[in-house]
Structures are given as C-alpha cells and as structure tokens.
Amino acid sequence: MLDCDVTLIGRKSGNCCNSDSVPFKTKRFRMIFKRSFLFYSFFNIRLFFFLLFHKYDLLVSDDLDTLLPNYLISKLKRLPLVYDSHEYFTGVPEIQNRHFVKWVWKSIERQLFPQLKYVMTVSDSIASQYEKEYGLRPVVVRNCSGNSDEIKTFSRKELDINDDHLLLILQGTGINIDRGGSELIDAVNFTDSVSLLIVGDGDQLMFLKEKVSILGLTDRIKIIPKCPWITLMRYTRSADAGLSLDKNSNLNYQFSLPNKLFEYISAGIPVIATDLQEISKIINEFNCGILISEPSPVAISNAIISLRDNRELLIRLKHNSVTASKSVNWENESLKVVNLYESIINSI
C-alpha cells in the first residue's frame, strides 16, 4: 500500500469547498477573476508561487491548465511530475472557434509534453493521439466507477415519477454544449410513457431548465443539482437506462470515455449512446446498450421506444451491464494507478 501525505490544490468554488468530501489536506485559492485569460493566468501564477514555497516530493498536474507551473517547479526543484490528462484538452469544443486561446494551449502542450516522463490519460484514443503527436504513449486509466451494488435506489414515489414510465437518466458535471441534452428533451417531449432525470451540472443546465419549463415537461423531466457520488448512484440505480449523447463535433468527444458510461454499467442499466469510437467499443464488447449514429431527437426517441416496448431486450441489456460491471470497475482499473505511483515513489 502507498503511504502518502497528499495535498489537493485548486480554486475555491462551489459547495464541495465547504465540506470534508476528500480524505486529505486541501489548499483552495480564492480567485479574483472568474473566467477567461485572467482567471487562468492568475491561477497559474498563484499555483507556481505556492509550490515554490512549499515542500513536496511528487507533483501531479491535472489537465493542461495546471501543467506549466507544475512543470517549472519540477525542473527547479528536480521533482518527479505526473501529468494526468483527463481529456484531449486542445480538442474541447469550448475553444475550437477561439483560435488565439487554442493556439496558446497548444503551444504550451507542444513545448512541455515531449519533456514529460510520466503521463496518464483516460482512453486508448487519446493515448494514441498523444503518441502520434509527441512519441510518448500515456498509461491509460479509464474513469471506471466503483462498485455500487450496496447503494439503495429511490422509489418512484420518492422521485415523483409515474410507476408505468420508462425512467431515463442523463448525468454528469459536464452537461455542456454538444452533449445532446436539448435533443434528449425534444425526444422525451414526443415520446409517451417516458420520464427523465437530469442530474449534475454544466454550462447548458440553465438552458435545459428553461426548455423543460417552456415545453411543460416538469412532471416528466426532473432536473437535480450536482450531488455526492453515493446520492448520484441512488438516482442512477433507480433508472431503467442511461444516456451518453455527445456529438461527433470535436476530437475530445470522439476520443472520450465519460464517467457516466461506467456509472451506468456499475448501476446495471443499459446505455443509449452516440456511436463514438471509445464508447462503442465498450457497448459492443459487452452488448450492454444501443448505439445511435447521431443524437437527433428522432434517433434518441427510436432507441428509447425500443427499450420501452421490448421488455425482453431491456432485461437482456440490464443483465449484460451487470456482467460488464464485474470486470469494468474502479477496483480493477485503480491497480494501474497504484502500480505507476509505486514505481515512481520507489525511484525517489
């Protein structure tokens, strides 16, 4: 077992900063700026000086927006650095039309990535892209879910959902642009005997709330704020199927393996998902869901109807998700992380 004294460093934002949700020390910066260039510049400068005047034996950078100060300190203090890339950062949709911003981040990546020794990422496709660009293949650690077998579900009465409805769930902290939320609401609007839970957060959530209200769907679509993982899994395990509807609009989504895919599998429910390369590999391997070519309202509705009207198919896909959860889980996947850090710590 690894015996480490861990400090998490980040910004002060949201309710998580007011709770004891992590089992180690935290340092959270209060930010003057809330977004854009000034936010990232201010955060990176503060992170650099904090790391400069505090002693650590190992640095871990989560994503490209924290890599530069970590890299500089690792060189100044001759410390090992792990780059944990949670997504293909320069491929995210939010910066594709912001050419200067994308150029800045890509320039940082091009300068630093070839100098790195220890890199992790979340899918084979992202690892292959980095290997193609920089000649270094990261260790792939998928964002698998922990075991949720003992987590109690909500009753339909507690959820205020019709007992006879097929209950769907869309979850995550990245309910953002191009992730199919609006199209899903349209699909539910013209599909009878279906209800939906949207659980989480993201830059599209307010728009989705307004759309649900305008369409008069508040009796069938419940929007629930971001919550602790155990509570989230109570909602997920209460559903009949989960949805992952990213559009094929950017490399990051093409390469992604979202957390929710594995949480649906952990909950033992089928997945309705866009046919993107990493997601489709999992669904096809375990036959635990339905793939659609694009997240249009009609395509989503047709997939929902196939589960609503074919009880045998629904039961079979649920069974296959349960089977998948026995091998695709964090208990197995986390061994890769332990092995990597043990090798680094033993070399210090």
pLDDT tens digits, one per residue of 65-95:
999 999 999 999 999 999 999 999 988 877 8
Q: What is the predicted pLDDT for the residue at 21? A: 67
Cα separation of 278 and 138, whole Å?
16
* pLDDT, position 209: 94
- Spatial separation of the C-alpha atoms in residues 178 and 171, rounded to whole Å: 14
Q: How far apart are CA 173 and CA 228, in angstroms?
A: 11
Report if pTM > 0.85: yes
Give the count of beta carbons closer than 10 Å to the beta carbon of residue 109: 20
The reported pLDDT for the residue numbered 162 is 94
The SS3 of residue 54 is coil
pLDDT mean across residues, the chain: 92
The average pLDDT across 327-342 equals 95
Question: Does pLDDT of 99 surpass 60?
Answer: yes
Q: What pLDDT does 305 receive?
A: 98
Q: Please report, in angstroms and rounded to a whole number, the separation of the first and last CA atoms in the chain.
A: 16
Share of the chain above pLDDT 70, in %: 97
Share of the chain above pLDDT 90, in %: 78
Q: What is the mean pLDDT of residues 4-23?
A: 74
pLDDT of amino acid 348: 81
* 151-163: average pLDDT: 95
Report residue 343's pLDDT band, with 50, 70 and 90 as the boundaries. Answer: very high
Produce one character per residue of 276-295: b if its CB has 16 or more CB atoms within 10 Å, e if not: bebbeebbeebebbbebeeb
